[in-house]
């Protein structure tokens, strides 16, 4: 993510800075399946570490109906991430669904915050 910053002292624009974020999907595929609490604990440890390593963003997707735990409840994961961090931006990376002619459900708007 590129970020434009304004100099706080004189209001002049500074060069855009490159910062890094990470998407955590909390997946637990069958071939590497392990206890869910261990997976979540390790992932939250990595989120906390990434903040100390200088990452500026942490996102989770939203995806329903996957057998491997592919993040059906991003708000709960974001709350757990917020409890373990203090400065990193967190948010849900929700993409718009592609519509087919036979698909009558509405697409979701693209949202990304952090």
**Consecutive 10-residue runs of the chain (114 residues): their mean pLDDT?**
52 72 88 93 95 91 82 87 92 64 43 40
Question: In this structure, are residues 70 and 63 in contact, taking their beta carbons and an 8 Å threshold?
Answer: yes
Element (H, E) at 17: strand 17-18
pTM metric for this prediction: 0.67
Beta pairing partners, 92: 60
pLDDT score, position 106: 43
């Amino acid at each position: 993510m590129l970020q434009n910053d304004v100099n706080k002292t004189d209001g002049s624009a500074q060069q855009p800075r490159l910062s890094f974020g990470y998407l955590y999907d909390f997946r637990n595929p069958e071939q590497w399946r392990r206890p869910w609490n261990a997976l979540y604990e390790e992932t939250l440890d990595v989120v906390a570490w990434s903040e100390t390593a200088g990452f500026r963003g942490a996102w989770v997707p939203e995806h329903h109906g996957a057998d491997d735990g592919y993040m059906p409840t991003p708000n709960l994961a974001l709350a757990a991430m917020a409890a373990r961090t203090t400065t990193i931006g967190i948010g849900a990376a929700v993409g718009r669904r592609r519509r087919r002619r036979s698909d009558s459900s509405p697409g979701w708007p693209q949202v990304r915050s952090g």
